[in-house]
Structure 1
Amino acid sequence: MSKTSTPGQIRRLTKAHKMSFAAVATIGAAALAATLVPAGTADAGTTVAAAPVAWTQAVEGVQAKTVQHLSMQSKLATDAAKLEAAVKAKAAAAAAAAKAKADAEAAAKAKKDREAKAAASRSTVRKPVYANNLDGWIKESLAIMKAHKIPGTYNGLYKNIMRESSGNPRAINNWDINAQNGVPSKGLLQVIKPTFLAYHVPGTPLDQYHPVANIVAAANYAADRYGSIDNVNSAY
């Protein structure tokens, strides 16, 4: 039992199908034209010879169109493949460039971090360590004084320390007028508390007995009043 074609099936006839039908129609027409030779215009031999020639020409024409169609389809497929390859190549190049940029930025950051770490390490290594004695206290005080632009020399500090406390950071004066007023002089340079608080240098302990804090505060006060601790040669 034969099946009836639906409109959808008919619409799905490809161009190749249509060309085939056209070829068949052309071949049939050519063959019919070749065989229906009017009487009296050609003899039997001419009629017989014309039919194969027409048929052959029709077939060759169909073959030529088919080859042309296939060639066009092949070219379109080739062009599409080239375009797809170009798009993929461009995407791959963009991805590679983005990765290279990210890698370069990561490498630069890593280098910067290493350099910062190395600098911090060098700074830690180079930070001087002062002895916990009079010599070390004076040298550390001079470094702090230099950073805060407080004038004074090693000799200027040393001579005043020896006169005021003999180098004893726990020295205290309990008999002068300051002591009678309740604010005794304390430490290496015998500073009273109000003076220590007024001239205390940030970064040093807020301890009147601390040797470095005491020296720096006293030197700061002497610089304000006398120009430098070096100019002090008696009680101040």
Structure 2
Amino acid sequence: MSASNVTGRLLRLNKTQKLSAAGVSAVAAAALSLSLVPGHAEAETEPQALSAAPVVFDSADSKQARAIQDSLIEQHSTAEKLVKAADAAKAEKAAAVKEQAEAKFEKAKKAKAKAHAETESHESASHANRSSARTHMYANNLDGWIRESLDIMHEKGIPGTYEGLHRNIIRESSGNPNAINDWDINAQNGVPSIGLLQIIKPTFDYYHVPGTPHTQYDPVANITASANYAADKYGSIDNVDSAY
């Protein structure tokens, strides 16, 4: 290779591939000396042409650009990790809040069920006690039902007299606790009047007196609920002389 060829090749190199001045001189000198060796010179072997590729050195700009790129990649990776960690923490917090809410709901549900069971047990016990008391203290007939109802009404502050209750019971049901009105407007609306004082279920449920059975067919429950309703609407069952 001639010195002119080496020089021409160096001129074609781009900026990032240029050799240092010392490297270029060394390579050119070596190539020139090999090309000028006489053909008849004594040598053990024929001279070999250079085959190594030129060494390329990265410029300062290239190194800086690569460093910036590596830094950006690292920052992006770190940002992704932070976002994932934040999302995971948010999801974990939401799951914890949901779990606490569900636990609170279950606790309230159990407390409500327990309270309901205790109330039912208390009412059952009261009913059993009243049934027992009725057997021993009150006759199981209209007179006994009215007298027991009057005692409960007095205890609960519900006005009414024996005469007022008896008079309205006879007019409404003739003293039959199982009497049902199946023809009036209430019956047509699906809520027939039932029992001694012919009370409909919505009214019975609203004015039911605690401690008595929750059924319109029970004589004492029917009388006390009806008397409670009459007291609210008319001042007392004694003031009722017709359908109410």
Query: TM class by shorter-chain length?
Result: 0.3 to 0.5
**Normalised TM-score (structure 1):** 0.46
**Normalised TM-score (structure 2):** 0.45
